[in-house]
Amino acid sequence: MDDPTTVRNQRNQSAPETTRLNLPARMSDSSVYLENLPSRTMYINRLINSNYNSSPSRTIYSDRFIPSRSGSNFALFDISNSPTSAEGKEDGSGTYNSLLRAALFGPDTPDKKDSLGSPACRNIFRYKTETKRSLHSLSPFGLDESVPGIIHSPVKAPRKVPRSPYKVLDAPALQDDFYLNLVDWSSNNVLAVGLGNCVYLWNACSSKVTKLCDLGIDDSVCSVGWAQRGTHLAVGTSNGKVQIWDASRCRRIRTMEGHRLRVGALAWSSSLLSSGSRDKSILQRDIRAQDDFASKLSGHKSEVCGLKWSYDNRELASGGNDNKLFVWNQHSTQPVLKYCDHTAAVKAIAWSPHLHGLLASGGGTADRCIRFWNTTTNTHLSCMDTGSQVCNLVWSKNVNELVSTHGYSQNQIIVWRYPTMSKLATLTGHTYRVLYLAISPDGQTIVTGAGDETLRFWNVFPSPKSQNTDSEIGASSLGRTTIR
């Protein structure tokens, strides 16, 4: 019997040097034997170097053979494309197989089958199907309603905001003054409006108008603000005084002094009332105490025209004609946060009812921007240029949306979706700056006031999820009446 090693050595010596193989380091060429290697190498070279050209009448769709079974003619070659079990019985995975087959090949309908007489469809597999499928077909089950067992959720239509007010009230002597706040809506569904030297109350349920007070010829109303319970109304005057009225009895409870100039901004926090004045100061008043004010907040260098307490009553935001936005806490006499990014007066201020510490502010004619702040982390979140003077801001209580009113130059009302700040609606109708804004207690309706001496009521926000009936505000009849 021959030695295998001797035989391998003889074969390796007889092979020419040009046929040595490039083998891994762990494998010597003596362990591999190729018969007729030169002839095979020449044959492979002829295949590689051959100038292969396809027929000019044949369209080349791809350089890789990736068959598309959506246009395959299995019936032409007596091949079934529906897998069955060997016993011809449908097993437990039949439903899954039918769903998968429908998703991959499409429903077995005549209009999706290729014509057998077409010469372009003679191949069992083709590189490209002629039926264009949408991007939705890339999902496992597509969007075909005919596929059994699949429940498709309907696409929710975008909410439509009515572009016209459902009610208009004439408001004679409603002042065209950017720094005043003359409209507020109580939790008891009563609207307070300052007209000249008088304050009028409009009951949204009964449409009844009541004259609350008359300050006389030497004074005028500069601001109104409802207490949280909706029974008491604060009235700021041009003489620097603040009056507290019992709205149910139309009786003045007390008059508090402390400001030297007009009081254009008011904000309640339980029994604490904050008043901002043209004298640049903010006074904190406890109406239960005998003193006219408990503390004085100093920081603004010009008239205070915006005041809002946060929903948890822990932070007070103030805006002034000095283009500054300050945040105060319950015990500070100096601002704990200062924001100086606005380039015009800051009257529009709104705290988010959905996220703690989220504050929105708007600038005047030279600024036109709505800015968002996180007072918890003391960060500036975003900025939106609205193109017009921002007069007021209010947040929806029911959804994460807010509304802004504007002055120069478009006098528009815009409903925004937060945080994308995409516009849901732009409402027009006022011919003067929309200086005044208030929201109904159910959070669905807003009222806007302007120097055109009209109050307009708009349904802009959806109802709360727990509320199934229409609000009493929205059910009010159309028409135009006067508030006095």
427 pLDDT above the threshold of 80: yes
- pLDDT computed for residue 39 by the predictor: 58
**Model confidence at 45, in pLDDT bands (50, 70, 90)?**
low
d(CA 90, CA 3): 61
- Quick one: pLDDT band at residue 141, thresholds 50, 70, 90? very low
Residue 456: the pLDDT is: 98
Summarize pLDDT for 321-337 with one digit per residue, the tens: 999 999 999 888 999 99
Q: What pLDDT sits at residue 464?
A: 83
> Tell me, what's the pLDDT at 409?
83
pLDDT digit string (tens) for 191-230?
A: 999 999 999 999 999 999 999 999 999 999 999 999 999 9
Report, as an integer, the average pLDDT of 102-125. 53
In tens, the pLDDT along 335-358 reads: 999 999 999 999 999 999 999 999
Mean pLDDT is lowest, of 53-57, 166-170, 234-238, 375-379, for 53-57
Is the pLDDT at 10 greater than 70? The verdict is no
pLDDT score of 56: 53
Name the least confident of 54-63, 84-93, 268-277, 286-295.
84-93
The pLDDT tens digits for 219-255 are 999 999 999 999 999 999 999 999 999 999 999 999 9
Categorize the per-residue pLDDT at 477 as very low, low, confident or very high, splitting at 50, 70 and 90.
very low
Per the prediction, the chain carries an average pLDDT of 80
Domains, the chain: 167-464 (2.130.10.10)
Share of the chain above pLDDT 70, in %: 67
pLDDT for res 102? 76
